[in-house]
Amino acid sequence: MKIRTPNNFLFQIKSSNHNKIVHFYLLDKKEENKKIGRVSLYRQLNGIYETHSYLNKKYRVLVLGTKLYYKAIQWCLENGYSIRSSGNSSDEAMRVWQSKSIRKLFRIRKKKDKECPSFINDVWYAYSKIK
């Protein structure tokens, strides 16, 4: 499966600290590859990556944030990593995790996090559809 951006947009992936942080940027080619959004993955002590995201409000209606999440999830799964929401997700991020469209590509499971009861929201985990 190949996650693609709509025309005029590009993905850019940058990792740092030996893949402890991986940033998936979305660039607008029309505006000289201006960074308009990102999903950052932060590797936790248990080896699971947590998502944190931002997308410029001007671009939110284009479903670009969802595409960023798809790309980040795909990268984790292809590289043998587990991925989950942060538990302190924004309303927009929660809509992505709860959407039907994400379930077309990945298995999504909601879990209460017993280790960190301070999480505001439930924690969502993504898995490959292939078992």
The answer, yes or no, to whether residue 46 has pLDDT greater than 70, is yes
Least Cα distance to 4 among 82, 93, 124, 105 occurs for: 105
| Whole-number pLDDT of residue 90 | 84
> Measured between alpha carbons, how far is 126 from 70 in angstroms, rounded to an integer?
10
| Whole-number pLDDT of residue 84 | 94
Q: Collapsing DSSP states into helix, strand and coil, what is residue 110?
A: strand
Domains and their CATH numbers in the chain: 9-128 (3.40.630.30)
- What is the pLDDT of the chain when averaged over all its residues? 87
DSSP codes, 38-53: EEEEEE-TTS-EEEEE
| Whole-number pLDDT of residue 125 | 94
> Measured between alpha carbons, how far is 89 from 12 in angstroms, rounded to an integer?
23
The answer, yes or no, to whether residue 105 has pLDDT greater than 70, is yes
> Measured between alpha carbons, how far is 57 from 37 in angstroms, rounded to an integer?
9
The mean per-residue pLDDT over the stretch 45-62 comes to 88
What is the strand order of the sheet 49-55 is part of? 9-16, 21-28, 34-43, 49-55, 83-84, 123-128, 106-111
| Whole-number pLDDT of residue 71 | 92
> Measured between alpha carbons, how far is 55 from 12 in angstroms, rounded to an integer?
14
